[in-house]
Amino acid sequence: MKIALICLAVAVTAVLADKPIEVVSRQEVRDEHGQYSLSYQTANGISVVEHGELKPTPDGKDHVLVRSGQYQYTSPEGKPVDIKYKADEFGFVATGDAIPVAPTA
């Protein structure tokens, strides 16, 4: 899901710039169980790394695909953005300086 959002952001940026953004490197490895590792980097400095690993459910009868990774880019203001994330049976959690933190009571 997150990779799809990043790809969408890259596509929107390309449309706004009126020219395609080249993918300068891309690697992807998958196994027969659905686990994977992928990474890519674009010419405008976006980089993405993601891993999908199967984790047994507590009852041992099934598996959950745990997705984790990070992406980096430079904001329009010139600030480097680095986001790390994990998605598992407990939900999606992202961390990074660019993610707002809720105020404490």
Structure confidence at residue 5 (pLDDT)? 47
Tokens matching residue 67: 């997705």
DSSP 47: E
Q: Are 70 and 85 in contact (CB under 8 A)?
A: yes
Structure confidence at residue 105 (pLDDT)? 80
Phi, psi of 101 (to 5 degrees): -110, 135
Residue-wise pLDDT for 2-40, tens only, equals 555 455 455 555 555 678 999 999 999 999 988 999 999
Residue-wise pLDDT for 29-72, tens only, equals 999 988 999 999 999 999 999 999 999 988 989 999 999 999 99
90: left (phi over 0), alpha (psi -120 to 50) or beta: alpha
Structure confidence at residue 102 (pLDDT)? 86
Task: Please provide the size of the chain in residues.
Answer: 105
pLDDT band at residue 95 under the 50/70/90 scheme: very high
Would you say the pTM of this structure is higher than 0.75? no
Vertex 40 angle, CA 38 and 42, to 5°: 165
